[in-house]
Amino acid sequence: MSVVRVRPETARYEVRVGKRLLGRAGPLARSVSDAASAVLVTDRTVGRLYGGPVSRSLERSGFQVFRSTLPDGERAKSFVFYRGLCERWSRARLGRDTLVVALGGGVVSDVAGFAAATFARGLSWVVFPTTVLAQSDAAIGGKVGIDLADGKNLVGAFHHPLAVFADIESLKTLSPRAYRAGLAEVVKMGVIRRPEILARLTRLARRTAWKRPVAIEGVIRWAAAEKAWFVEQDERDHGIRRALNFGHTVGHALETAYGYRRYLHGEAVAIGMAAALRWSVLEAGLDPVDAYEVEMLLGRLGLPTRLDEAPGSRFWGALSRDKKRGRKNLRVVLCPRIGKSKVFEISSLTTLRRVVLSLVRRGVGEGP
């Protein structure tokens, strides 16, 4: 088991990456908490797979266990299901001696973490992430929240977990689509911070070894370590941590435009990164060959980099709302070169319109 330490100004905790961690959920949770009770928050699919064994392990470690189940998918990140969690916890008379245990992907950790941040003015929590996206990115850093119809993560808080326990073996039960989608955030970290991640994934892609969870354990650990670095440098997301939004300007707008139904988060981010790479060539001086190679890597990992149709008014409206959120210009992360990023203030969407349309008009095999 490898350990990544996260040390922002207001918290200290570890991300442990290894095998067979879910079977030791109780002892691991007990190692960081002396709470009398634990509420296990998961979704329906993960609950069927792992809810029983994790609950029993928690009970054997002395926790009185309550369970809360969310629906699968992004729709769980809403006021309706957040409120449902809090009301169930209130009826169960849970209090501040309760540990929240989030078991699942990024949606589960976002909703459970937000409920933990706000119920009874704050409960401690731990995360057992079960997806590539959550293990490499979403479960780390303390950003929790829910969506609104106008956009993703518009209601939220900063609330760090006591620990993150990433069981690589849980990735074996992911659908191929969900597994691939999670790799988008790993690629992102290679683009903005650690090019070695891209090199490793390229080697794995040549022999399709990336499809085996054990083969990507190293890049998940690297991505988690780099996420921890950003969190330590900029806990509250006022400066350098904004680099983590690379590909998310277009990605979030796509998710919003299609009602969170057409694309998984990682798929939307992959298309968003293709747009950001092309945009970086035009606006930030990125070498076109480097942009092309990253786009090809995304394709070899089974991620989308093209649009089936030109986005409509809902997409551009989502971008406009982002542009108007407390500032005159659209804030976007671009890459002058692989491994470096920079936040740009864009006053016009003209170049972005050209870039987005280029993703529709050109064939899958063509480059930037």
Tell me what pLDDT residue 290 has.
98
**Residue range 297-313: mean pLDDT, rounded:** 96
Does residue 13 belong to any structural domain of this protein?
Answer: yes
Q: What pLDDT, on a 0 to 100 scale, did the predictor assign at position 368?
A: 39
- Give a yes or no: residue 366 inside a domain: no
The whole domain housing 38 covers 2-173
Last residue in a domain, options 173, 192, 217: 173
- Could you give the angle at the alpha carbon of 366 between the alpha carbons of 317 and 180, nearest 5°? 70
**Residue that terminates a domain, selected from 173, 205, 223:** 173
Whether 299 and 322 map to the same domain: the answer is: yes
The per-residue pLDDT for 367 is 40
Mean pLDDT of 235-241: 95
The pLDDT tens digits of the residues spanning 179-197 come to 999 999 999 999 999 999 9
Let me know whether 114 and 191 are in one domain: no
Q: Are residues 266 and 336 in the same domain?
A: yes
Query: Are residues 68 and 166 both part of a single domain?
Result: yes
Note the pLDDT tens digit of each residue in 267-301. Answer: 999 999 999 999 999 999 999 999 999 999 999 99
pLDDT value for 190: 98
Same domain, 129 and 199: no
- How many CB atoms lie under 10 A from the CB of residue 207? 9
98 part of a folded domain:
yes
Per-residue tokens: 146: 């829910």
Count up the domains in the chain and report the number: 2
Task: Report pLDDT for 242.
Answer: 95
The predicted structure's pLDDT at residue 320: 79
**Residue 120's CATH number:** 3.40.50.1970
110 and 241 belong to one structural domain: no
Q: Is residue 168 part of a domain?
A: yes
Is 8 domain-assigned?
A: yes
Cα 2 versus chain centre, distance: 20
CB 25 within 8 A of CB 159: no
Calculate what percentage of the chain has a pLDDT beyond 90: 89
SS3 state at 191: helix
Q: What is the pLDDT of residue 363?
A: 44
Query: 3-class DSSP state for residue 50?
Result: helix
Q: Quote the pLDDT of residue 322.
A: 66
Section 296-324 average pLDDT? 89
Query: Which residues, at least 6 apart from 209, have a Cβ–Cβ distance to it below 8 Å?
Result: 215
Backbone angles phi, psi at 259, to 5 degrees: 65, 30
Mean pLDDT over 57-61 rounds to: 98
pLDDT surpasses 80 at 327: no
The mean pLDDT of the chain is 94
Percent of the chain with pLDDT over 70: 96
Domain closes at, from 139, 154, 173: 173
Instruction: Let me know if residue 313 belongs to a domain.
Output: yes
Examine the domain organization and report whether 295 and 203 are in the same domain.
yes
User: Angle between the 350-361 and 265-283 helix axes, to the nearest 10 degrees?
Assistant: 120
Tens digit of each residue's pLDDT (9 = 90 or more) over 29-41: 999 999 999 999 9
Q: Which helix (H) or strand (E) holds 54?
A: helix 52-60
pLDDT tens-digit map of 113-172: 999 999 999 999 999 999 999 999 999 999 999 999 888 899 999 999 999 999 999 999
pLDDT higher than threshold 60 for residue 324: no
Does one domain contain both 69 and 121? yes
The answer to whether residue 367 sits within a structural domain is: no
Are 114 and 199 found together in one domain?
no
The average pLDDT across 53-62 equals 98
CATH of the domain at 299: 1.20.1090.10
Q: Supply the pLDDT for residue 152.
A: 87
- CB neighbours of residue 182 within 10 Å: 28
Check whether residue 337 and residue 304 sit in a common domain: yes
Alpha-helical (H) ranges within 35-175 are 44-46, 52-60, 79-91, 106-118, 132-133
In a domain? residue 48: yes
Q: Are residues 9 and 158 in the same domain?
A: yes
Give yes or no: residues 46 and 163 share one domain.
Answer: yes
